[in-house]
Amino acid sequence: MNTDDRKVAIVTGASRGIGAAVAERLARDGFVVVVNYAGGAAEAEALVRKIEAAGGRAVAAQADVSDPAAVRRVFDSAEAAFGGVDVLVNNAGIMKLAAIAEADDALFDSHVAVNLKGTFNALREAGKRLREGGRIINFSTSVIGLRLEKYGVYSATKAAVEALTAVMSKEMRGRSITVNAVAPGPTATALFLDGKSPELIDRMAKMNPLERLGTPEDIAAVVSFLAGPEGGWVNGQVLRANGGMD
């Protein structure tokens, strides 16, 4: 059981990138953090050690979020170890770019499985099991508003996440649970940087008036606000953390 009365946060896809920054920030904020990962076991374990070395508390939990039974096991283990779950951060996601006419079935199906079904699987568990006063934070993308070419399938799954966010915020009535989404703009992670030329990265960095890419820590700060005591009056919203891009 969680004997120190810290609140418990599950962060999906937390072995690297934005997810890892979110896990570190929530641990610094005083949460016990469940670091979910699909394949990056070594990275997840290294992150847990880093959090604990800084005085935080964390455990790694393997699960492919597209598998409902695996997601259930993460919640089961968190409840068994710590007594319950207070915060879900639905960060796990994939992004593979292709024009709609060129996208194959595997690209479409993988995006739906991870970005949409994976988010849904965790939402369903959280909806049944989150403790009173809990917080759910989903991940969307600012690309939805930009309508960038080759982002069609990715954007479609994230638009669906925004719809789930809005509806679930109403379905949690009576439990003091908020449901919001964070929609990052271009952020300096491997997911974003892979396969892009320096010229394209520079051009995208200058699309916002602050003229830089976001950092994982920028996004983690927004999640921290929504998960913390001062974010409790924000509900059913999509917070576009993108430097003013659009």
3-class DSSP state of 242: coil
> What's the rounded mean pLDDT across residues 173-184?
98
pLDDT band at 190 (very low <50, low <70, confident <90, very high): confident
154 a catalytic residue: yes
Q: What is the pTM of this model?
A: 0.96
> In the structure, how many helices (H) and strands (E) does the chain have?
10, 7
Tokens of 13: 């896809």
pLDDT band at 4 (very low <50, low <70, confident <90, very high): low
Q: What percent of the chain has pLDDT over 70?
A: 98
pLDDT value at residue 114: 98
> What's the rounded mean pLDDT across residues 214-236?
98
Residue among 31, 139, 154, 225 flagged as catalytic: 154
User: What's the CATH code, domain 8-186+216-239?
Assistant: 3.40.50.720
Beta bridge partners of 64: none
pLDDT value at residue 1: 47
pLDDT band at 3 (very low <50, low <70, confident <90, very high): very low
Nearest to 130 by CA among 91, 182, 89, 170: 89
- Residue pLDDT, tens place only, 42-93: 999 999 999 999 999 999 999 999 999 999 999 999 999 999 999 999 999 9
Dihedrals phi, psi of 65, to nearest 5 degrees: -65, -20
